[in-house]
């Protein structure tokens, strides 16, 4: 989850007081520490509280212009600091699989494998592994990519997703599709939301495999249709949705290769973001099976 700079403690205190008061008045929480208690908390604890308040907050307007401006300025500063600390990674500058793993063909020319934080990547879009309600994760502190992306992007992202869901009369989003939204405070210009299959018992069926492949094809189609130059992929369905990482990785590579072959005119740069050791290992094994060089990626 994002960590705030401590430079503007007064702004952080104002925001926490505002959203705490709002949460109590709206019935989101039963009670909250009084302003005097909040004032005594260190900035890190205040930011954690504010993050929790924004995580549980339903998609509603922020009518106070000063509050909205304060929040936007804080989120923008945090995002800029995260990008700086990460070395300002850019999807178009990351080394491709042809250079890092000796992969030939369009897969090697257009795809990069990168270990890093997807919310720091400059790209045309990044992918969010969403749930069927498409409003983000409402569990404070949860480290799923859905929660992290919404936390960095800010409340505008949930509001845009809510408008889309309202137009669907509340019907859950279908598995295997993709929705393109703005990126708000993320360095990526857009977010592509896709709902992956839920795998029971860790054993994917043919239907699960087809749906996961559909997620990635739909993402690439949405990004290509929007004329974007690049996309950063997360590992769809391989967290709490239960799809085994070692089975997902080769399927993803096959799907990307098939899509690139079917779109010979596309210059899209595709970055597979492997955040944890287990994600890296899954893709390294899948690439090794393709006769790659096994070189270490950046």
For the chain, helix (H) and strand (E) counts, in that order, are 11, 6
Report percent pLDDT > 90 for the chain: 86
Question: Over the chain, what is the mean pLDDT?
Answer: 93
Tell me what the mean pLDDT of segment 61-66 comes to.
Answer: 95
- For 155-207, write each residue's pLDDT tens digit: 999 999 999 999 999 899 999 999 999 999 999 999 999 999 999 998 999 99
* Helices (H), ranges, 93-244: 97-100, 105-110, 145-153, 155-167, 206-225
CATH 3.40.220.10 given to domain 97-288:
yes
DSSP 28: S
- What are 179's strand-pairing partners? 193
Mean pLDDT over residues 100-108, rounded?
95
**pLDDT value of position 291:** 54
Rounded to whole angstroms, the Cα distance separating 153 from 147 reads 10
pLDDT at 298: 41
DSSP state of 190: E
**Is 90 exceeded by the pLDDT of residue 294?**
no
Q: What is the mean pLDDT of residues 278-290?
A: 92
- pTM of the model as a whole: 0.93
Torsion of CA 103, 109, 115, 121, to 10 degrees: -170
CA distance 35 to 189: 37
Secondary structure letter of residue 101 according to DSSP: T
What are the structural domain ranges in the chain?
Answer: 9-85, 97-288
**Contact (CB, 8 A) for 204 and 216:** no
Dist CA 59 CA 135 (whole Å) = 8
Cα–Cα distance for residue pair 50/2, rounded to 1 Å:
11
In the β-sheet with 230-233, what is the strand arrangement from edge to edge?
111-114, 269-273, 230-233, 125-130, 190-195, 179-182
DSSP SS3 for 75: helix
pLDDT of 207-263, one tens digit each? 999 999 999 999 999 999 999 999 999 999 999 999 999 999 999 999 999 999 999
Four-CA torsion 199, 197, 158, 35, nearest 10 degrees: 0
145 touches 183 (CB < 8 A): no
What are the helix (H) ranges across 120-154? 145-153
């Amino acid at each position: 989850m994002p960590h705030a700079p401590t430079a503007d403690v007064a702004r952080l205190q104002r925001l926490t007081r505002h959203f705490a008061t709002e949460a109590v008045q709206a019935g989101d929480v039963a009670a909250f520490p009084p302003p005097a208690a909040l004032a005594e908390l260190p900035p890190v604890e205040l930011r954690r509280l504010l993050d929790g308040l924004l995580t549980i907050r339903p998609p509603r307007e922020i009518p106070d212009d000063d509050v909205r401006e304060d929040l936007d300025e804080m989120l923008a500063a945090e995002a800029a600091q995260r990008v700086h600390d990460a070395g300002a990674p850019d999807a178009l500058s990351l080394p491709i699989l042809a250079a890092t793993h000796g992969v030939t063909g369009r897969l090697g020319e257009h795809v990069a494998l990168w270990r890093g934080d997807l919310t720091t990547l400059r790209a045309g879009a990044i992918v969010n592994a969403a749930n069927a309600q498409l409003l983000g994760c409402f569990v404070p502190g949860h480290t799923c990519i859905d929660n992290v992306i919404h936390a960095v992007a800010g409340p505008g992202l949930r509001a845009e997703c809510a408008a889309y869901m309202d137009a669907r009369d509340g019907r859950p989003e279908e598995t295997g599709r993709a929705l393109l939204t703005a990126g708000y405070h993320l360095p990526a210009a857009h977010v592509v939301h896709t709902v992956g299959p839920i795998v029971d018992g860790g054993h994917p069926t043919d239907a699960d495999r087809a749906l996961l492949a559909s997620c990635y094809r739909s993402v690439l189609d949405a990004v290509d249709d929007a004329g974007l130059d690049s996309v950063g992929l997360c590992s769809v369905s391989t967290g709490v949705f239960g799809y085994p990482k070692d089975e997902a990785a080769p399927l993803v590579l096959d799907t990307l290769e098939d899509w690139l072959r079917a779109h010979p005119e596309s210059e899209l740069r595709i970055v597979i973001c492997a955040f944890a050791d287990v994600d890296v290992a899954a893709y390294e094994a899948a690439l090794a099976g393709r006769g790659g060089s096994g070189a270490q990626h950046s």
